A = this chain, B = another copy of it.
Amino acid sequence: MSNEMKQWVLASHPTGMPTKENWQLQTAPLPEPGAGEVLTRAVYLSVDPYMRGRISPRANYAAGVGVGDVMHGGGVGVVMESNDPALKPGDIVESFRFDWQEYNVQKGSALRKVDPDMGPIHSALSYLGLPGLTAYFTMLTAGELKEGDDAVISAASGAVGQVAGQIAVIKGARPIAVAGSDEKIAWCKELGYAEGINYKTEPDLTAAVKQACPNGVDLFLDNTAGPIHDAVMRNLAEKSRTVICGTVALADKFEEPDIGERFLRNIMIARATIRGFILFDHAKHFDQARKDLSSWAKSGKLRHREDMMHGIESMPAAFLRLMTGANMGKQLIQISDDPTL
């Protein structure tokens, strides 16, 4: 173990679509754990769409990243040194604030022990982690998924969408994928999506949603905002539920108002519900959700796909792949050897 590590700090707040120049790679001394603290080595780091909000200069629901701060992010790592009796060297742990760096020191209480028997340890960042839990609670809790629902899911091949579509299938609903390439749509159909709409090539999204859901959309998991949102709003079924989970289509105009058509009459006439979603409101049910997700994966009902990059140097590139929809499945970055493989 070297005495130094690499880490990414925010060099500037983006205006519009972020670029690699918004971050800077720097060398820092290896941190030393104090009382109750634990030193971990990053094995896998995650990039997720919510990070676009964290790097905006505008206020957000989570504290933002300031210029010069190490970039925020979750990760899975292995304990190197522990001053917390609950953790010992070699334990696999997850943290929502591993951040973009090779090593991390945190209070042991901020780390969650990962059980390698529940799935590959990187799944703690995908279908057993933030994206899988998001799919679980958007569909089942906020979205009130019912058997027979026509459920439109945007960013359908992404980390959240691939799990959400399969949950719809497990619960007897009919998921419709919206994604940005024919390859992504094909993968969604392999996962059990009934239909797919390629929003990049489809000339009339409103008509395409209507064709896919002639009786209207019962549940809409909105991961993008933008034109896909608009197309669904014009096709709401009675008592339709829309869960606003992400707004990645606005990533290039994050600092300006989103101007466009508003759908208050459509919402009123359909008696639709539009509901904002933040995962951490559901934290006390995470354990049950992870058990369900793990058991579905082990029984073959829940498949998953990761888009794995390698090395701490890849962090901004991996995040930008996400922003532009270039990733295929959950975007992860392997930072060091996986001790369980």
Contact residues of A with B, CB < 8 Å? 60-61, 222, 225, 229, 244-247, 250, 257-278, 281
* Neighbouring B residues of A266 by C-beta, 8 Å: 276
> Cβ of A269 and Cβ of B278 under 8 Å apart?
yes
> Cβ of A273 and Cβ of B275 under 8 Å apart?
yes
Q: Is the interface of A mostly helix, strand, loop or mixed?
A: mixed
* Neighbouring B residues of A259 by C-beta, 8 Å: 259-262
Contacting residue for A268 out of B244, B261, B268, CB 8 A: B244
> Cβ of B273 and Cβ of A281 under 8 Å apart?
no
> Cβ of A281 and Cβ of B271 under 8 Å apart?
yes
30 pairs of residues in contact across A and B, judged by CB atoms under 8 Å: A60-B269, A222-B264, A225-B262, A229-B264, A244-B267, A244-B268, A245-B268, A246-B268, A247-B264, A250-B264, A250-B265, A257-B261, A258-B261, A258-B263, A258-B264, A258-B265, A259-B259, A259-B260, A260-B262, A267-B275, A267-B276, A268-B276, A268-B277, A269-B276, A271-B277, A271-B281, A272-B275, A273-B276, A274-B274, A274-B275
Shortest distance in angstroms between A216's beta carbon and chain B's nearest beta carbon?
A: 13
Shortest distance in angstroms between A61's beta carbon and chain B's nearest beta carbon?
A: 4
A262 in contact with B262 given A269-B276, A273-B273 (CB within 8 Å): yes
A233 to B, closest residue via Cβ? B262
> Cβ of B247 and Cβ of A268 under 8 Å apart?
yes
Q: How long is the Cα–Cα vector from A208 to B272 in the complex, in angstroms?
A: 29
* Neighbouring B residues of A268 by C-beta, 8 Å: 244-247, 276-278
* Neighbouring B residues of A247 by C-beta, 8 Å: 264-265, 268
Shortest distance in angstroms between A270's beta carbon and chain B's nearest beta carbon?
A: 6
A240 to B, closest residue via Cβ? B276
Q: How long is the Cα–Cα vector from A262 to B224 in the complex, in angstroms?
A: 13
* Neighbouring B residues of A277 by C-beta, 8 Å: 268, 271
Contacting residue for A276 out of B244, B260, B261, B270, CB 8 A: B270
* Neighbouring B residues of A267 by C-beta, 8 Å: 244, 274-276
* Neighbouring B residues of A270 by C-beta, 8 Å: 276
